[in-house]
Structure 1
Amino acid sequence: MVTLGTDRISEFSHLFEKKRLAIVVNQASLNSSLLDTYSVFVQAGFQVTTLFGPQHGLFGHTQDNMIEWQGDEYEKKNVRIHSLYGEHRKPTPEMLSETDVIVFDVPDVGARYYTFIWTLALLMEAAAEHHKKIVVLDRPNPLGGESIEGPMLDTEFSSFVGLYPLINRHGLTIGEVARWLQKYHIQEVDLEVIPMKGWQRSDWYDQSGLKWIMPSPNMPALSTATVYPGQCLLEATNISEGRGTTRPFEIFGAPWIDNEKMCDFLNINCPGATFQPWFFEPTFHKFERTLCRGAFIHVTDRLLYQSVATTMTILSYLFNTYPEKFEFKAPPYEYEYEKMPFDILMGSDRWRSELSSGIRPAYKWSELWRDDEREWREFREEFLLYS
């Protein structure tokens, strides 16, 4: 079994002794014995003065896209609680006034748009500005650390789903993300990463021996995380990404799709997955209580499956087959009020334009960002912690 950074705090007790700690956590912040991180520190005798929570709340109870929560919704004796997805996404001086060391222990799912890594970035900026140390307790990238995918973000399209240049599926652990941020973007921060033991880059989450704990309300399983780097793009369209079902992102569709024809096409042009025609009625979100026709994605070979390229193939099919039905959503999206949601997710307005060039199979999309992947693979070597 993998030993998490959270399991190793006693080995690094010098970082926490006689310090006032602010811990950044959510409902998935557990050690390998399923004890929550706050209790891990308290039972070890360390002083926790503040709790911060990211998007979706301390307990993963709020939904997507600017559904905020406030710290005063919770009560915990002798501990201040602050939301980093509400009035503030970056802690203020007052929020850090009773803190010497910030401890970050929020799981990531390996995709650029998952906002927790950008909460980490803003915390690192605040730590540098206010001369606080930040300690990141490392956790596995659920998708492993070898496969990467997608184009590089253009800084013109920086947002809370991508503050700094990064490809869609980055192949880093949360601790490696912190090292990258420190090296290239937030050099002044006093950073320490407590690494895992027993994790290798080739390991997917189901090879770690750890329980899957939902890191957000629509991430119920590893299979969800597997398709998410591509399927998250549907959030920026009028296609249901399956919110309001029990298998979001694996299920997708709309009322007006001929799903038999769509699946026939996708099963020929998207290797590593089988698309099963699927009917569903979302209980909330897009097309609430309306019968949708779409597909269930069964990933049959996760090493062959390319999530971003697959979803771009889905979108190119729907965009060109249903030009009078398909729509891109308008802003706001994740606190961006001007640029199109699809553009900030893909990190450029190029890819929305490319969809109008016709229907493409997955391998043709992959070819368009292969150089970005090659450059990122070489560039990231210096801040990797695991082989």
Structure 2
Amino acid sequence: MKKSKILSDAKSIGMLTNQSAYGWKGDYHFRIIQKEYGLKKLFLPEHGLFAELQDQVSGSGLIYDLGETEVLNLYGDNEESLAPAEEVLSDLDTLIVDIRDVGARYYTFLTTALYAMQAADRLSKKGKSKPRILVSNAKNPAGSKVEGSPLQKKFSSFVGVEGTLHRHGLSAAGLLEYYKDKFKLDLELYRLDLYSKRSSEFLWVPPSPNIPAQTTCYVYTGLCLLEGTNLSEGRGTTRPFETFGAPYINDLDRSLLEKLQEKQKGIFRLRPLKFIPTFHKHAGKVCGGYQILLDKPKKFHSLLFGLLLLRTLKEFYPNQFEFLQGPYEFRSDLPAIQLLVGDQFLLDYLDGKRSYSEIQDYLEDTEKKWKKITKNYD
């Protein structure tokens, strides 16, 4: 690929990226930018540059030798660390956002990008110099399918931007363009052509340590809800989010298996198994559980399955299943499950106050509305 025309006049470049931005000219994209255009500042999201840190682990101690490029971590020890300070952006004329999203609002990378855009907008409103935003044309690995309902304001946090669906179905550039318009940000935002239109799961680079394969993106929207429970979401195994369970689950219980599979028959199957997480929840303990296998990935509704899974296990194991309490992604006033679900109607289902058919109809309606709202974004 020839040198980008849109970057030809850039004199002071910052870049929000990690190892998932790989393949342009056979190298990490930050190295290409650094070599061919100069890279003044490198901003790191959660998990670090090479996805070496686990979830909710501060990267404040990370050290990288990138020569004259300044490295700034945007996932530190407190909530203030999540956004760059205005003065950090004021000496940049260009900020490149080149990072893989997995298509779900809980995934924090594009929230980090939004926070950087909002910091740049504040500079603009103060009449100060601000960078233009260039967003790479990386595709959504989970595809254009949408799932869920808009996050209600009272549940907004680092793992949920107000108004965004659980599975948004947009590319990174599309979602950030939507945010620019929704929040009325006074910014110049352009797309940067770095990726081939052809894509392959065999060229997958994990954007974070627990998204080992592109197939993980298809189940993540529903199975990420397990983070708000005492169930293992498979961290500490080779297939996180595709493998899940707990020591108290009887994986040989056919009635449980049938209950979990009855709503989307022929679309997915659950393989009963036992596993021992090497770290995280239930580390070193034998867990009963399942691996989820998708027969028809494009038809699978991950969020509906995740909600059904939690309610069913709550009913089967009332004395053992628990929703976790305590701080989660810098908020301590609400439990993690509320921040993740982000919608009282769906939370009522988990509490047994609504039926599966009610939430199915509700989600069908909210998903149609989201598609209309975002039809000019992709």
TM-score by length of 1: 0.89
Looking at structure 2, the residues matched to 184 and 94 of structure 1 have their Cα atoms a distance apart, in angstroms, of 24
Name the structure 2 match of 1:77.
Answer: 67
* Mapped pair 1:110 → 2:103: yes
Looking at structure 1, the residues matched to 159 and 192 of structure 2 have their Cα atoms a distance apart, in angstroms, of 25
Name the structure 2 match of 1:142.
Answer: 141
Match of 1:127 among 113, 120, 128: 120
Name the structure 2 match of 1:92.
Answer: 85
Q: CA RMSD in A?
A: 2.1
Looking at structure 2, the residues matched to 164 and 356 of structure 1 have their Cα atoms a distance apart, in angstroms, of 23
DSSP-derived class of the 1:81 partner: strand
Q: How many residues align?
A: 366
Looking at structure 2, the residues matched to 296 and 359 of structure 1 have their Cα atoms a distance apart, in angstroms, of 27
* Residue type at the aligned position of 1:264: E
Name the structure 2 match of 1:4.
Answer: none
Name the structure 1 match of 2:318.
Answer: 323
CA offsets per residue over residues 324-361 of structure 1, 9 Å max, x none?
Answer: 11111113111111012111111124423312328966
Q: CA deviation at 1:241?
A: 0.3
Identity of counterpart residues, as a percentage? Answer: 32
Looking at structure 2, the residues matched to 18 and 297 of structure 1 have their Cα atoms a distance apart, in angstroms, of 47
Task: Write out aligned runs for 1:17-56 (5 A).
Answer: 17-44=9-36, 46-56=37-47
Name the structure 1 match of 2:223.
Answer: 231
Distance 1:139 1:197, change over 3 A: closer
Looking at structure 2, the residues matched to 16 and 33 of structure 1 have their Cα atoms a distance apart, in angstroms, of 17
Q: CA deviation at 1:43?
A: 3.3
Looking at structure 2, the residues matched to 58 and 163 of structure 1 have their Cα atoms a distance apart, in angstroms, of 23
Name the structure 1 match of 2:127.
Answer: none
DSSP-derived class of the 2:289 partner: strand
Looking at structure 1, the residues matched to 243 and 96 of structure 2 have their Cα atoms a distance apart, in angstroms, of 36
Q: CA deviation at 1:368?
A: 2.7
* Residue type at the aligned position of 2:112: T
* Residue type at the aligned position of 1:340: P
> 2:10, 2:94 within 8 Å by CA — same for their partners in 1?
no
* Residue type at the aligned position of 1:73: I
* Residue type at the aligned position of 1:168: H
CA offsets per residue over residues 60-91 of structure 1, 9 Å max, x none?
Answer: 111112x1102752222111100011151111
Looking at structure 2, the residues matched to 60 and 157 of structure 1 have their Cα atoms a distance apart, in angstroms, of 27
DSSP-derived class of the 1:47 partner: coil
Name the structure 1 match of 2:292.
Answer: 297
- Between 167-176 and 324-333, report the one with greater CA deviation: 324-333
> 2:16, 2:99 within 8 Å by CA — same for their partners in 1?
yes
Name the structure 1 match of 2:205.
Answer: 213
Task: Write out aligned runs for 1:336-375 (5 A).
Answer: 336-357=331-352, 365-375=359-369
* Residue type at the aligned position of 2:295: T
> 2:349, 2:359 within 8 Å by CA — same for their partners in 1?
no
Looking at structure 2, the residues matched to 258 and 172 of structure 1 have their Cα atoms a distance apart, in angstroms, of 38
Distance 1:157 1:236, change over 3 A: same
* Residue type at the aligned position of 1:139: A
Q: CA deviation at 1:223?
A: 1.4
TM-score by length of 2: 0.91
Gaps of 5+ in 1: 1-6
> 1:316, 1:358 within 8 Å by CA — same for their partners in 2?
no
* Residue type at the aligned position of 2:373: F
* Residue type at the aligned position of 2:316: T
> 1:24, 1:53 within 8 Å by CA — same for their partners in 2?
yes
Looking at structure 1, the residues matched to 263 and 34 of structure 2 have their Cα atoms a distance apart, in angstroms, of 53
